[in-house]
Structure 1
């Protein structure tokens, strides 16, 4: 709907808007809006089956289904308009289940609480059902949250709802975490933006299908401000150490501000430092000899003008994949040093703005943006997981199962189409490893168009060393450049590396982990009572679900743990070693049966020992079930001491 429309609710305007509508979620939204259940006729239900390639438009609805859906949607919108925009009563549980099942028909009853959480229907369905002042009158309980990125903001919001005294420590001058730090050209989501948002703070006016960095950063900033969290965040404050004091079950946090170092005590510590926050720069021979400018994508030099310069980008992973097309037309010459070619999902609308007509519908139809978000969530809830699951009987090189091979053929066909006239490039851009073994990227054809530019060269020879004027490859060729950009990712497996952490009896967390970080549910570690991790070890999602959801579930789990302490008048809980060990054996076994665990290709999913320390290998519903409430049998309790040290 264009802003110039004189009557956006005219019949003609409605018909034009419906041409841009996402129909499956619109039918459900209109049913909730009007109470007319004929809108969710099973004959119109899309056959949402994740494919090895692009998800079909309208969830795979046939042309006949789409025509009928537009007709009945048009009639429903006219009735809504003509009846004075009156809204039906909130759906009861039976109708809500029917609405969800129209999109997620194959979901059994175990999924329904999860689906309700994602919809946030009824409003506040996942809010804490307790308040500290009422649950434990007179009890003091302070929580330190380290980090104000996506997970830290979620933790702060829920703690505030529960009336728990908390402080968030953030090293940067703003919230946002990785979305504050990464401002390189082309930076954007490769997850649909509606799905990359909190269930409790859903946004309907996203400008793009896959939002740019500024929009995502702005979203987290807005949530922190609107939820009243900013006064509880200490910006430009770096946590140096956290030490557990067994005498009174308190954590001593030492942190540094502009005024010096401070020591403060808390009953619990929540680590929300993330996984993608420490840039990884390989130790190339002769790197100190290079006389030009060099930086990592996560520390972009906006003060350096690339126009007319010879530039090298090292890497072809997610960040480099976005940077390279964004700067290719600006530089004099661009050399891309690629170690492993990326697999790409064909995503025609990857860089496109959401049509004005669709944005208008989101704005004026109650519940539509919410159900649209839900539709995106469900199409990815188990995503393409079956396509990257290992078949132990499969032996063909380059894939891990028949379905993975089918996926490989589809994605290869896409590359063959994109590079049909450039066989010299085609041999370089087809990966040799199974799809899913490394992060899958999204492409609308921009990658091929960029690599085929006359001022762009794709180099697959290994880097031997740097020299004064550039990079020398293993074949002896010298590549003269003025600027080197590291698109080499992050030290994702070095969890909490910037903080010294000691637990019971002086146990050092990093010595205990020995560069092989693990945690029960990605949250708890034996010997570290009331230390909780968000987006911790083995909670990264690859082909299914939303990492925002996983962080929300972990936060809810932590809140349940705190409420349990208060109810039982305990000081702390400590994860049992046997539970921790058994859980991590299951995680390792699960990851061994996924493409990223079975393949030997290098990736940020693995630590230096080759163990997958990042990824969650199971269905998303398993994490929902495991975190829905704290299993007290998994923890030892620490009694509350009446007398405390000063």
Structure 2
């Protein structure tokens, strides 16, 4: 692995440093300063939103004074556990339990490689030719790759595209960017990556993933333009035989273990509107955005208002002659502070020269998610008093309702057609990219009547109106229930995983393992994405890779050749999962269960997410229940 270049602090004056501190996350500043000084005056300060003017000035001035004397590149070592826990409690001004501490203690990323596992007593001699195959080189595939790199296990990554990046390589529509702050949408082993924006654009994310792939060795272990078609388990040898399509035909590769990292956004949803195939204009799914597409002066239909449809509307509306926004369902769309803004030079200096600020900024950015589980649980007493779901969820609903009024200039026609009739957090949250404001433009029209058909002129809605368009952008999402599709995975006794899942949709044990499919893991598999409890997705990719790593380590250390979840454990886990999910807003009539990213509507059950409280799900993914597994 390459080493990171050393940096040196450039001398700056007190005014520059003061600007840096004032622009920074003052909660992260407060914890980082207390980490170094144990200053009782800093210890007594409340959290950022509760600071009065005098307290804010105290924090800023003390930090400026400390930095004038101590600013330098570097990162503190991880404090001993009692001290670390003290700092974490101080950060949020709450006493956390043991479960929360264990799930959050790596978030600051003081250690070189958080959430990874190692051999218990040194690396054993591996069987001749032993190899792990990782399918996909997006975030999850690279997380699996770094785990194999650290264990020193030979591996190969099969990537269908010609570059790493997964869904970020494929999606290139206007203004695509992350909708969680970049400092949480990154790997914890790459320290203080120099993101130029608070929320990185797609191109920046692609550059980041290429950087990770090259720096840590995964690039040289990747076979690009290799599209897995079929994987067959050879029971006699405990080996997977993989058939991958390449520019030169089918290539056969053998691997002892397969880690699927294909993600949930590999198969785009195809529009099924009458007349769509015969529409003479251009049709574009955002995942196949033409590089040479110039939409200036065009009449454009944007079908869909999920995350993608919301992101691309504003830049298109600025150039197009006319845009018709076909709203398929109402969404709760929320603002994000500093969304679309560059990281200021002063803040960049602070990240590079205030040891610990980067670590504690990561923690405080994620801490905002610690209590999201509270949004999902009903409060009958609150409802008896006239509330809708529970107090915190109703407060969010009120805030988002006011935001709609504000962004639409209180246009009664727009407001009536935009405010959802279900509770927030029952569908995937959408981040505002100027979508509401774009609807107020003279050249943008919101259409809420259902689409009936495509015609030679454009799009006809249920009320008989035909909207003349040159291009239709179908931002209607992906077939997210098609896990592992379209490749075939053939396990024991010739069982195809898609046939195994035919009864009630894709399921897994702790989102990663399926009985009858030994030595096979899934990252971002069925019921994997946590709904609550904090931490961003790249962290979970590392957690899941660490789980697979634990099982591979034990199998090899015991001289065995296969590891598999039992059918009984698989069924018990999913029975408990369904029971837990039934308590949540997402499956309740006050939510939006019938038209929901998270829910398998065919089988009426939670599909994408883990229903557990985040720290509990973290425990399930890190403390292996060995009795649920067979290692032979």
- Give the aligned partner of residue 625 of structure 2: 631
In the alignment, the residues of structure 1 paired with residue 104 and residue 206 of structure 2 have an alpha-carbon distance, to the nearest angstrom, of: 26
Find out whether 1:15 has 2:18 as its counterpart. Answer: yes
- Give the aligned partner of residue 616 of structure 2: 622
- Give the aligned partner of residue 341 of structure 1: 330
- Give the aligned partner of residue 597 of structure 2: 604
Give the deviation of 1:31 after TM superposition.
4.3
- Give the aligned partner of residue 5 of structure 2: none
Q: Any conservation in 2 of the 1:433–1:601 contact (CA below 8 Å)?
A: no
Compared CA separation, residues 238 and 121, structure 1 to 2 (3 A):
same
In the alignment, the residues of structure 2 paired with residue 502 and residue 40 of structure 1 have an alpha-carbon distance, to the nearest angstrom, of: 63
Give the deviation of 1:148 after TM superposition.
0.5
Compared CA separation, residues 69 and 486, structure 1 to 2 (3 A):
same
Residue of 13, 29, 48 corresponding to 1:26: 29
Compared CA separation, residues 189 and 248, structure 1 to 2 (3 A):
same
Give the deviation of 1:45 after TM superposition.
4.2
Give the deviation of 1:11 after TM superposition.
2.2
Give the deviation of 1:624 after TM superposition.
1.5
Moved more, 334-343 or 432-441: 432-441
Residue of 248, 258, 279 corresponding to 1:269: 258
- Give the aligned partner of residue 486 of structure 1: 474
Give the deviation of 1:86 after TM superposition.
9.4
Q: Any conservation in 2 of the 1:383–1:545 contact (CA below 8 Å)?
A: no
- Give the aligned partner of residue 54 of structure 1: none
Q: Any conservation in 2 of the 1:290–1:468 contact (CA below 8 Å)?
A: yes
- SS of the equivalent of 1:465 reads strand
Instruction: Provide the TM-score with structure 1 as the length reference.
Output: 0.90
Give the deviation of 1:605 after TM superposition.
1.4
Equivalent positions of 1:467-482 (< 5 A) are 467-482=455-470
In the alignment, the residues of structure 1 paired with residue 37 and residue 385 of structure 2 have an alpha-carbon distance, to the nearest angstrom, of: 52
In the alignment, the residues of structure 2 paired with residue 318 and residue 86 of structure 1 have an alpha-carbon distance, to the nearest angstrom, of: 37
- SS of the equivalent of 2:39 reads helix
Q: Any conservation in 2 of the 1:197–1:203 contact (CA below 8 Å)?
A: no
Compared CA separation, residues 377 and 89, structure 1 to 2 (3 A):
closer
Find out whether 1:74 has 2:64 as its counterpart. Answer: yes
- Give the aligned partner of residue 98 of structure 1: 86
Compared CA separation, residues 87 and 570, structure 1 to 2 (3 A):
closer
Give the deviation of 1:496 after TM superposition.
0.4
In the alignment, the residues of structure 2 paired with residue 521 and residue 597 of structure 1 have an alpha-carbon distance, to the nearest angstrom, of: 20
- Give the aligned partner of residue 191 of structure 2: 202
- Give the aligned partner of residue 545 of structure 1: 535
Find out whether 1:64 has 2:54 as its counterpart. Answer: yes
Q: Any conservation in 2 of the 1:388–1:435 contact (CA below 8 Å)?
A: no
Residue of 550, 564, 577 corresponding to 2:567: 577
Q: Any conservation in 2 of the 1:27–1:39 contact (CA below 8 Å)?
A: no
In the alignment, the residues of structure 2 paired with residue 88 and residue 633 of structure 1 have an alpha-carbon distance, to the nearest angstrom, of: 39
- SS of the equivalent of 1:135 reads coil
Compared CA separation, residues 204 and 245, structure 1 to 2 (3 A):
closer
Residue of 200, 207, 210 corresponding to 1:211: 200
In the alignment, the residues of structure 2 paired with residue 93 and residue 149 of structure 1 have an alpha-carbon distance, to the nearest angstrom, of: 33
In the alignment, the residues of structure 2 paired with residue 395 and residue 484 of structure 1 have an alpha-carbon distance, to the nearest angstrom, of: 46
In the alignment, the residues of structure 2 paired with residue 261 and residue 532 of structure 1 have an alpha-carbon distance, to the nearest angstrom, of: 23
In the alignment, the residues of structure 1 paired with residue 409 and residue 14 of structure 2 have an alpha-carbon distance, to the nearest angstrom, of: 46
Equivalent positions of 1:250-269 (< 5 A) are 250-269=239-258
Give the deviation of 1:282 after TM superposition.
2.3
Moved more, 23-32 or 235-244: 23-32
Q: Any conservation in 2 of the 1:437–1:601 contact (CA below 8 Å)?
A: no
Structure 1, gaps ≥5 residues long: 1-5, 47-57, 639-646
In the alignment, the residues of structure 2 paired with residue 147 and residue 241 of structure 1 have an alpha-carbon distance, to the nearest angstrom, of: 14
In the alignment, the residues of structure 2 paired with residue 353 and residue 341 of structure 1 have an alpha-carbon distance, to the nearest angstrom, of: 30
Structure 2, gaps ≥5 residues long: 1-8
- Give the aligned partner of residue 50 of structure 1: none
Give the deviation of 1:500 after TM superposition.
0.3
Moved more, 627-636 or 510-519: 627-636
Q: Deviations over 1:507-544 (max 9, x none)?
A: 11000001600000100001111110001101123454
Give the deviation of 1:77 after TM superposition.
1.1
In the alignment, the residues of structure 2 paired with residue 528 and residue 119 of structure 1 have an alpha-carbon distance, to the nearest angstrom, of: 36
Q: Any conservation in 1 of the 2:530–2:617 contact (CA below 8 Å)?
A: no
Q: Any conservation in 2 of the 1:312–1:481 contact (CA below 8 Å)?
A: yes
Compared CA separation, residues 40 and 588, structure 1 to 2 (3 A):
farther
In the alignment, the residues of structure 1 paired with residue 76 and residue 284 of structure 2 have an alpha-carbon distance, to the nearest angstrom, of: 56
In the alignment, the residues of structure 2 paired with residue 219 and residue 140 of structure 1 have an alpha-carbon distance, to the nearest angstrom, of: 32
Give the deviation of 1:138 after TM superposition.
5.0
> For this pair of structures, how many residues does the alignment match?
616
Q: Any conservation in 1 of the 2:173–2:286 contact (CA below 8 Å)?
A: yes
- SS of the equivalent of 2:360 reads helix
Compared CA separation, residues 89 and 178, structure 1 to 2 (3 A):
closer
Q: Deviations over 1:280-308 (max 9, x none)?
A: 12211111221000010111122221111
Find out whether 1:523 has 2:512 as its counterpart. Answer: yes
In the alignment, the residues of structure 2 paired with residue 402 and residue 90 of structure 1 have an alpha-carbon distance, to the nearest angstrom, of: 37
- SS of the equivalent of 2:107 reads helix
- SS of the equivalent of 2:631 reads strand
Equivalent positions of 1:253-332 (< 5 A) are 253-332=242-321
